């Protein structure tokens, strides 16, 4: 890592988060006064008062899954026999426990963890880009594309996305330096953060084979599932069902299916752009982007990155829905490295930047207004 790539990562972090907070601070202090023009238009005012800024930010970011993670951080997991129905068992423990260690308000502590993890991921991404055959310019673009991805506002919320991104990028970066013990440790922590952390095991095993170090790496990599295993044991002690997290997911309309089923379902009715909690068109495009990244890396014979991108696509699609696919894409880092290679052409770079920033601002504004699909 050199000063140029560090500055590129810092620039992407500071600029994207400055845009995010500017929108949140202004948007959360908008007062809707009355409707005019035959009730077709709101009259508003915006008054920024210092004592209102932090409470308004907290009120804005504490929606959706943030409340479930807060329940784990504050009260722990529900202790009762397993039964169908919504429960906080669906949410993996590392992120809320990390916030709990900090103490204080969950929203503020959660955002602190998220921003620290995002900065860490952006600082690690250039080294990984270089290790994958990129240049310093590619590394800078990868950081910028990630920071301004349309759903990258999730990386600032009190949610586990940033922590998961940091752990997965770190695991790959460590593996590229043949620090398999560190890759395994970060991988185990990733499996305690989100179920998708388990995808690191086959992906890093392929990387070990690529690098000819699989004999030395295999013993370490087999430790990756331990993070998830510890959570399963804990769930069994609490509920009598080690897989209570999977059962709880069914109450968010998740059910096992073939990965291509949600894609074909959208193609049969492409005029239905969105439905409650699911902006179908955006999620479909995000799925195609991840598929593109997977094919890109496989064609280049970088099997580990291609496999990780493919697994990151197939796992959520196999749950029977396109819902949240754009949110999941925000942490699929092989996508941003592949985009950075394409961005070597100036016209492509300008197009990616323009579309990303426009959608990032639009979706952040909708998130502030509590539009359902912006929170899914």
Distance of alpha carbon 328 from alpha carbon 312, whole angstroms:
8
H helix intervals, the chain: 3-27, 50-61, 65-75, 94-102, 106-131, 136-147, 161-176, 180-191, 200-211, 214-221, 226-239, 244-249, 261-268, 280-299, 303-317, 325-329, 333-342, 346-368
Q: Tell me what the mean pLDDT of segment 19-32 comes to.
A: 94
Higher pLDDT, 131 or 248: 131
Confidence (pTM): 0.96
Q: Across all residues in the chain, what is the average pLDDT? A: 95
Reported as a single tens digit per residue, the pLDDT across 91-126 is 999 999 999 999 889 999 999 999 999 999 999 999
- For the cut 80, the answer to whether the pLDDT of residue 165 exceeds it is yes
Q: Tell me what the mean pLDDT of segment 326-352 comes to.
A: 98
Q: What is the pLDDT of residue 251?
A: 67
Q: Tell me what the mean pLDDT of segment 141-153 comes to.
A: 98
Q: Tell me what the mean pLDDT of segment 230-238 comes to.
A: 96
Q: What is the pLDDT of residue 285?
A: 98
Distance of alpha carbon 327 from alpha carbon 283, whole angstroms:
8
Q: What is the DSSP letter of 80?
A: S
Sole residue written with tokens 């009730």: 39
Q: What is the pLDDT of residue 108?
A: 97
Sole residue written with tokens 């009120």: 59
Q: Tell me what the mean pLDDT of segment 160-174 comes to.
A: 98
- For the cut 80, the answer to whether the pLDDT of residue 224 exceeds it is yes
Q: Tell me what the mean pLDDT of segment 28-55 comes to.
A: 90
- For the cut 70, the answer to whether the pLDDT of residue 253 exceeds it is no
What's the pLDDT band for 343 if we cut at 50, 70, 90?
very high
Cβ-Cβ contacts under 8 Å for 83 (sequence gap 6 or more): none
Q: What is the pLDDT of residue 252?
A: 62
Q: Tell me what the mean pLDDT of segment 48-71 comes to.
A: 93
């Amino acid at each position: 890592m050199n000063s140029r790539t560090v500055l590129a990562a810092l620039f992407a972090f500071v600029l994207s988060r400055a845009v995010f907070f500017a929108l949140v601070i202004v948007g959360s202090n908008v007062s809707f006064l009355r409707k005019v023009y035959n009730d077709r238009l709101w009259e508003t005012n915006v008054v920024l008062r210092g004592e209102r800024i932090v409470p308004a930010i907290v009120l804005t970011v504490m929606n959706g899954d943030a409340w479930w993670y807060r329940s784990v951080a504050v009260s722990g997991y529900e202790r009762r026999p397993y039964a169908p129905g919504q429960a906080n068992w669906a949410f993996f423990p590392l992120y809320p426990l990390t916030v709990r260690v900090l103490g204080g308000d969950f929203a503020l502590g959660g955002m602190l963890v998220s921003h620290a993890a995002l900065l860490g991921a952006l600082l690690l991404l250039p080294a990984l880009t270089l290790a994958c055959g990129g240049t310093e310019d590619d590394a800078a673009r990868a950081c910028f594309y990630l920071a301004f991805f349309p759903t990258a506002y999730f990386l600032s919320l009190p949610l586990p996305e940033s922590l998961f991104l940091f752990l997965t990028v770190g695991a790959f970066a460590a593996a590229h330096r043949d620090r398999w013990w560190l890759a395994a440790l970060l991988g185990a922590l990733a499996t305690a953060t989100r179920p998708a952390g388990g995808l690191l095991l086959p992906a890093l095993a392929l990387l070990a084979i690529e690098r000819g170090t699989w004999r030395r790496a295999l013993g370490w990599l087999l430790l990756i599932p331990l993070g998830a295993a510890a959570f399963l044991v804990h769930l069994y002690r609490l509920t009598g069902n080690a897989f209570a997290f999977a059962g709880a997911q069914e109450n968010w309309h998740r059910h096992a299916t073939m990965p291509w089923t949600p894609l074909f379902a959208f193609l049969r009715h492409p005029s239905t752009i969105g439905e409650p909690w699911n902006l179908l068109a955006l999620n479909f495009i995000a799925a195609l982007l991840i598929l593109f990244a997977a094919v890109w890396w496989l064609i280049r014979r970088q099997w580990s990155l291609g496999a990780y991108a493919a697994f990151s696509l197939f796992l959520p699609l196999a749950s029977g829905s396109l819902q949240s696919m754009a949110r999941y894409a925000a942490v699929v880092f092989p996508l941003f490295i592949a985009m950075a290679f394409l961005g070597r052409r100036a016209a492509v770079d300008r197009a990616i930047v323009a579309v990303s920033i426009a959608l990032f601002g639009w979706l952040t504004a909708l998130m502030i207004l509590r539009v359902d699909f912006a929170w899914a």
